[in-house]
Chains A and B, each alone.
Chain A
Amino acid sequence: MSNELIRQTVEKQYEYGFTTDVHTDIIGKGLNEDVVRLISQKKGEPEWLLDFRLKAFRHWLTMTPPTWGHLKLPEINYQDISYYADPTVKKPQRTELDPEVEKTFEKLGIPLEERLALGGVAVDAIMDSVSVKTTFKEKLQEKGILFCSFGEAVKDHPDLVREYLGTVVPYKDNFYAALNSAVFSDGSFVYIPKGVRCPMELSSYFRINARNIGQFERTLIIADDDSYVSYLEGCTAPMRDENQLHAAIVEIIVKENAEVKYSTVQNWYPGDAEGRGGVFNLVTKRGDLRGNGSRLSWTQVETGSAITWKYPSCVLRGDNSVAEFYSVALTNNYQQADTGTKMIHIGRNTRSTIISKGISAGYSQNSYRGLVRATASADGARNYSSCDSLLLGSNCGAHTFPSIDVKNPTAVFEHEATTSKISEEQLFYCNQRGIPTEQAVGLIVNGYAKDVLNKLPMEFAVEAQKLLSVSLEGAVG
């Protein structure tokens, strides 16, 4: 790689690395039952929710972090993190939103004023531990659609939250899920009533701003019978030398003949070129396809975070339910990603598809980990998995850990895997046509990821394409 390319890479780093100077109410570092109670109290929660948190916290104390990931995760001192930061506490009188907060989201390309909004997208904007604004709430409510922050949902729709919270990802599920269940702050809540097709894309935008805080958001999406919703999630964080913890839970319930599409473009700060700083992204996402004929697809483009530990999964409970997982995970410099999915086939004639595209550059490590299971009841279950790895350079690693567990003789599972490199011949062919190497790598990587990018909603696909090219600047020379 030429010096010129290295220079360009260093200069054109992470675009979203700025910080916002806004008065933020941060509770002291450390974690114990009093902190859990304090969070619950700050949010004005009912008793049953505090009980849920405390049970989760007590259970978390008995657990140890998982070590099976192909990751070098430094030991996290959970007493050295603050678990609640509220940037909205001191907003100027009579304004809905602190102008600094509003400016932050504008800079991120997420205008919070409805008249400026992206066509057809409603946004729930979350900074640190608090949802600062949800757009188009009233308009959606006309159709009976509930789209609000998790905190508001607890106040305004407690029965729904209570009925579904923790039913897809129980607090005992894993170490990080238990931690989240104890200290979760805000997130988004979505309820689509029976027979309603959500007329706009719903989205959450997560922003970590304050120093030394952990973000523990919790999202709950319920799609009632015969409903449809497409949901987008984006995330960024400032550039800081110390690591930041992000441990989220997303639970999705899909009822009879309902369909949910969940798309993520994850662009947390990945750390610098030497591997300093960056977000630890330790996330549990799962969908429960409860109803017959229900459909759920996860599409993720993962370019950020120092460490990613994330397996958006599907439980195909309803007969004839259909689940899909499309993933592009790109790692550069010293990033580590261990990501994939679980497809648990329980219902009859259930179908799942897994398309995973890993791209590794620099000194990064990129692993696909997947489980496809057919329980004894899953007559006629079908899965097709395809896991491809693309290596840029010779110092990075690509790994695939697929497992298949079949308890029903009529299930048919297929798995394909490839590993490839961008060849000198491809690069020179592009060069000869007048396309410089950097741009050629961007083109080739986008071509490689096309099957997945095509699954994203339009505006997101364009963003994701740019992101893939930018994240790779200087990766090949």
Chain B
Amino acid sequence: MLEIKNLHASVDGKEILRGIDLRIGDGEMHALMGPNGSGKSTLSAVLTGNPMYEVTEGSITFNGKDLLSMKPEDRAHEGLFLSFQYPVEIPGVSMTNFMRAALNGKRRYHGEKDLTAAEFIRLMKEKRTLLQLDNKLANRSVNEGFSGGEKKRNEIFQMAMLEPKLSILDETDSGLDVDAMKIVADGVNSLKRADTSCIIITHYQRLLEYLQPEIVHILYKGRIVCTGGMELSRRIEAEGFDWVRNAD
């Protein structure tokens, strides 16, 4: 699915990622943890092609294709999805228009016809029900006036609509109450298939208990310093990151 080799990236001339190596296979779920400023969000930004970040060295292959040479929208069409840590508000643009532009864009990229209005509305309804979003969603402006929890559920709703191959959940659990977290986790689990993969960036154990990732990485100062199973995340929950810092 994804292979990152010796990835270095900087923002405003400051190097944040300092040699990341990471392989994610089909159907795998990986958790990415690490103290603030370790480069977790930078990695998700670089993967999705955010122009604020500059890749200075290394390569990323996504399903056999050179990801770094692709435009952000083509990366999305190829099946890469980011659930934003801070979803952006777009006043006046309805979720319907927004999702239709996104979904039909992807369909055209793959040589498929646009969905008809009826097909699209049916799909929206099916997916929003999964995330327990009400029928007002269709006409609401993208993220405008959404509560923190609604914004995060709306991210996973979009993920459900676009059916990505690789999803990155960047602190999707932060700011969620217990009930909302369960909705989000159930949503993510129900979208899981043998050929889809997931990177979960989080500080907390709770979401990981719901999602049960096979592999946990710890990122520190722009490098993956430790890889293991859920025992790593449990240790962080119990002890914090001091032992990672001390080992450095």
Q: Which residues of A contact B (CB under 8 A)?
A: 423-426, 428-436, 439, 443-444, 446-451
Contacts and interface: CB of A to CB of B under 8 A. Distances in A.
Q: Of A429, A446, A448, which is in contact with the most chain B CB atoms at under 10 Å from its CB?
A: A429
Contact of B93 (A425, A428, A432, A447): A447
Interface stretch (B59-67, B100-108, B116-124): B100-108
B48 interface: yes
A425 B88 contact: yes
Contacts of B162: 433-434
B72 A431 contact: yes
B109 A443 contact: no
Interface string B48-59: 111110000000
B93 A446 contact: yes
Given A436-B105, A439-B105, A431 B90 contact: no
Interface residues of B, number: 34
A451 B77 CA distance: 31
Contacts of A426: 88-90
Shortest beta-carbon contacts, A-B, top 10: A447-B92, A447-B93, A434-B76, A431-B72, A429-B88, A433-B102, A450-B92, A434-B105, A436-B73, A434-B102
B97 interface: yes
A431 B49 contact: yes
A429 B50 contact: no
A435 B52 CA distance: 18
A424 B106 CA distance: 22
Contacts of B91: 447-448
Contacts of B76: 431-434
A434 B73 contact: yes
B125 to A, nearest CB: 19
A423 B50 CA distance: 13
B56 to A, nearest CB: 20
Given A430-B102, A434-B73, A447-B92, 14 more contacts: A428-B52, A428-B88, A431-B49, A431-B73, A432-B48, A432-B49, A432-B84, A433-B158, A434-B106, A434-B162, A436-B71, A443-B101, A444-B92, A447-B93
B92 to A, nearest CB: 3
A119 B89 CA distance: 38
Contacts of B72: 428, 431-432
A444 B72 CA distance: 18
Contacts of B41: none
Contacts of A430: 90, 98, 101-102
B105 A447 contact: no
20 contacts: A424-B51, A424-B52, A428-B51, A428-B72, A430-B90, A430-B102, A433-B98, A433-B101, A433-B102, A433-B162, A434-B73, A435-B73, A435-B101, A435-B105, A436-B71, A443-B90, A443-B98, A444-B93, A447-B91, A451-B92
A366 B94 CA distance: 27
Nearest to B81: A432
Contacts of B9: none
B77 A434 contact: yes
B90 to A, nearest CB: 6
B145 to A, nearest CB: 14
Nearest to A429: B88
Contacts of A429: 84, 87-88, 90
